[in-house]
Amino acid sequence: MRRTIIGLLALVVFVGCGGGASYKPVQGATNHGYTTFTSKPYHFSLEIPANWSSVDASTLGDAQAMRDAIAQNPGMKKLFGSDPAKAIASGTKFLAGDLNATINIVVNGAPGTSDSDVTQLPDVMRQQYATLGGTVGTPRYVTIAGHKALSVPVDLTLSGLTKHMVQDVLFANGYSYVLTLSGTSPQFAHIVSTFTVS
């Protein structure tokens, strides 16, 4: 179990630093200014603001969109290089945002995990981020998509720029789901409240 969690967090660190690129519009139904994105292969959906752009990285056809997003964002380029394969290999399944805020969703296999396993994450996250010069704030347990989840504020400094983010981690359907919210947006609460797993 600990090995699965450490591997998960190693991947989360890469994804938590993206954002700010110009992506393509998300596809889905519009609901009062929000658009629904659904990933059938990874059993999740959520609503994002209709004026945000996105990349569905769970499909191979979006490799060029991911490449474009990486090319337009110095932070992502520094982490992933110019090849989207590294971002996709890290488990990134969805990116969305505007100039002020982004959400990244990482999904990885986590067979045999349950809601109670999130209680093992705070110390592991502190250790992982400390090795990168980051700090983890006070974690709290919340309910997301009907599952116990860990919500952790993180500050990470890369190239002299401190990035504040919140990472929400839950286990469901044999997967780990990590929602990384970077920047500031009053819509974050709505986005997280609409995240579902099936």
**Single pTM value for the model:** 0.78
Would you call 68 helix, strand, or coil by DSSP?
helix
Residue 168: pLDDT band (50, 70, 90) is very high
pLDDT, greater one: 112 or 9: 112
> 10 Å Cβ neighbour count for 23?
22
Work out how many domains the chain is built from and give that number: 1
Structure tokens at 153: 């504020």
Separation in Å, CA 3 to CA 6, 8, 12, 135:
5, 8, 14, 22
Structure tokens at 165: 């983010």
CATH classification of the domain holding 44: 3.40.1000.10
Separation in Å, CA 153 to CA 104, 115, 138, 141, 166:
15, 20, 7, 12, 4
What pLDDT is attached to residue 174?
Answer: 92
pLDDT at 22 exceeding the cut of 60: no
Mean pLDDT in the chain?
A: 77
What pLDDT is attached to residue 12?
Answer: 44
Average pLDDT over residues 57-61: 61
d(CA 152, CA 41): 27
Its domain, for residue 155, covers 2-197
Of 96, 11, 2, 115, whose CA–CA distance to 51 is shortest? 96
- Report, in angstroms and rounded to the nearest whole number, the Rg of the chain calculated over CA atoms: 15
d(CA 165, CA 20): 13
**Model pLDDT for residues 65-113, shown as the tens digit of each residue:** 666 766 666 555 555 555 656 556 667 788 788 778 888 888 888 888 9
CA dihedral 113, 178, 58, 92 (to 10 degrees): -120
Average pLDDT over residues 174-188: 90
Q: Which long-range contacts (CB under 8 A, 24 or more apart) does 159-163 make?
A: 159/78, 161/75, 163/16, 163/17, 163/75
d(CA 46, CA 86): 24
Q: Identify the sign of the CA torsion 18, 127, 195, 161.
A: negative
What pLDDT is attached to residue 103?
Answer: 86
pLDDT, greater one: 1 or 129: 129
